[in-house]
Amino acid sequence: MGQRAAFFDLDKTLIPGSSLFLLARGMYARDYYRVRDIARFGWRQLRYRMSGESDESIDSTRDSTLDFVVGRPVQELQEMGREIVEERILPRVYEGITKVIDHHRAVGDLTYLCTASPIELAEVVAEGLEMSGALGTRAEVADGRYTGRLSSDGILHGEAKAAAVVALADRLDIDLSESYAYSDSINDLPLLETVGHPIAVNPEIDLKRAAREMGWPVYELRTRRPLLLFGIPSAFAAAVLFGVGFTAGRWFGRRPV
């Protein structure tokens, strides 16, 4: 048996809404975006919340972001991204999810963030949550500056995300049949089907339906958000900390020695 791991989506799984929009807001606050730019991101964020993650919304947001970073130094964006993640993204992470990440780490599992968002953003979020690492979309770089194009790998989305996880598992001797994946989106179905323990978190309607058909656990954190702010544990935290509900021993127990 190889190493066990847990893979987490970012948008709507770890945080409400879009990490790219939060990044754009932070850029605007630092005078990197104009009013019309942030308004365009605001409209996309509304569509994202209403209709869920789609190829069209991902492509549209990606293209506008790549247009913006053309010619920008990578180091400049990395430094700014770190500040924005600390200010705007990490404080929004669902407390229940952080407890799940903490538990996986405590029992010796690797923990990876897997997102279509930029790898620079993903790595800072993963670092802030003390995760093992991150997989994300890579932009093409030449002479230390962004070219405005994606790398040859394209967007880390759908089948591409699942393929990246399989490749990582091959490198690190991760046993995917014993591993976990957490996501809200039907677009992550390839990833969820790759691991032995798929879990739907804040699922949109298509994933909720698929999860019920396949007998996967379904957890809803959005309605518990106000309670989490006061330290009341979610269903995740309750299962992890007190061993009740959803066969906690099966889903979160240590491996046999």
- 183, 191 Cβ separation under 8 angstroms: yes
Does residue 54 lie in a domain region?
A: no
Q: Is 9 a catalytic residue?
A: yes
Residue for token digits 């591409």? 160
- Domain assignment present for residue 70? The answer is no
Question: Is 196 part of a structural domain of the chain?
Answer: yes
Can you give the pTM of this predicted structure?
A: 0.75
How many residues belong to the chain? 257
- Give a yes or no: residue 106 inside a domain: yes
Spot the catalytic one: 9, 109, 184, 188.
Answer: 9
Expressed as residue numbers, the domain containing 243 is 5-16+94-252
- CA dist 117 and 173 (Å) reads 25
**pLDDT tens column, 90-122:** 999 999 999 999 999 999 999 999 998 888 889
User: Do the domain assignments include residue 76?
Assistant: no
Q: In 3-state terms, what secondary structure has residue 129?
A: coil
The answer to whether the CB of 188 falls within 8 A of the CB of 161 is yes
Per the domain annotation, does 51 fall within a domain?
no
Starting at the edge strand that comes first in sequence, how are the strands of the sheet with 180-183 ordered?
Answer: 133-137, 110-118, 5-8, 180-183, 197-201, 218-219
Structure tokens at 16: 């409400």
**115 neighbors 126 (Cβ within 8 angstroms):** no
Q: Is 199 helix (H, G, I), strand (E, B) or coil?
A: strand
Tens digits of residue pLDDT in 177-216: 999 999 999 999 999 999 999 999 999 999 999 999 999 9
CATH number of the domain where residue 105 is located:
3.40.50.1000
Domain count, the chain: 1
Q: Is there a domain that residue 167 lies in? A: yes
How does pLDDT run across 9-28, given as a tens digit for each residue?
999 999 998 887 788 778 77
Of 173, 171, 208, the closest CA to residue 192 belongs to 208
Q: Is residue 224 part of a domain?
A: yes
Mean pLDDT for the chain overall: 77
Reply yes or no on whether 11 is catalytic.
yes
